[in-house]
Amino acid sequence: MNKELSSLLTGIQNILFPSLCVACNAYVPEQQPLCSRCLDTLKPAGYLGLSPKRMSSVAPAFKKHLSIRIALFSGFRYSPAVKELLHHYKYTSHYSYLSAYIADLLIRDLIRQNVPMRQYHYLTCVPMHPVKLRERDFNHAALLGKHIAQAFKIPFEPALLSVKKNYPLQSHLSEKARRKNPLGRFALTEKDTSAYRQKNAIIIDDVFTTGTTLFSCVNELLPLSPPALLMLTLARA
């Protein structure tokens, strides 16, 4: 197909199916999920170092791993634009395209803020409950992780963690029940974890709110004695 015909077909497509911003429904001529105005509303969240001693209050296993270097990096503050972007990513059929777009936003921010990604030996992700996975057909954290791992040439281990068998869906639990046993949801999938021992690790999710989900995953990774551990998310509330 020559360039003139390709350009004509693209023009017709834009007329018949105009690209709209997922956050404000404004027309976006460059076929992007967010318009320039909504992109400008995104506020950097950045890098946050965490003390293992303080972390031991939410994940008791940290008491045995006080030398670990743990940090949280989030690309942006949680906002209406981020909320709509993630909603479209997780609940529409455009997840493949949006996962690449969201990952690219995060990759640019990681590079801009000089986060030392190459010091980490592998990247894993928050697992999804089997019921949700069957309903949605993809793990949003795993798709983001795949793009990030490829960009920085880090081995990706999406199946390292799993939701414990018979553990109920979070949406089926009361807030009180969620807080009662926040660290009981996940487990290491593989019996032989020697390849991951004393390796710097990254774990990725979409949003950091209370931290319960990521802390629960980190609690399972601590017995592997990672010298450094980075929690990575697109947004932080």
- pLDDT tens, residue by residue, 83-104: 999 999 998 888 888 999 999 9
pLDDT at 179: 57
Band of the pLDDT at 76, cuts 50, 70, 90?
very high
CA distance 72 to 158: 19
User: Per-residue pLDDT averaged across 68-78, rounded?
Assistant: 94
pLDDT at 107: 96
pLDDT at 56: 77
Band of the pLDDT at 212, cuts 50, 70, 90?
confident
User: Per-residue pLDDT averaged across 207-236, rounded?
Assistant: 92
Q: Which helix (H) or strand (E) holds 220?
A: helix 212-221
Pick the CATH number of 18-236 from 3.40.50, 1.10.760, 3.30.70, 3.40.1710: 3.40.50
- The residue with greater pLDDT, 145 or 30, is 145
Contact 123, 199 (CB under 8 A): no
Band of the pLDDT at 224, cuts 50, 70, 90?
very high
CA distance 209 to 216: 13
User: Per-residue pLDDT averaged across 158-163, rounded?
Assistant: 93
- Highest mean pLDDT of the ranges 4-8, 67-71, 149-153: 149-153
According to DSSP, the residues that pair with 229 across neighbouring strands are 70, 201
At 212 the three-state DSSP class reads helix
pLDDT at 51: 83
pLDDT at 12: 38
Domain limits, the chain: 18-236
pLDDT at 14: 44
pLDDT at 173: 57
- pLDDT tens, residue by residue, 118-144: 999 999 999 988 878 788 889 999 999
- The residue with greater pLDDT, 50 or 155, is 155
Angle between helices 80-91 and 95-112 (to 10 degrees): 140
pLDDT at 19: 84
- pLDDT tens, residue by residue, 9-64: 344 344 334 589 999 999 897 778 999 999 999 999 988 888 877 777 777 777 88
CA distance 171 to 155: 32
Mean pLDDT over all residues of the chain?
Answer: 85
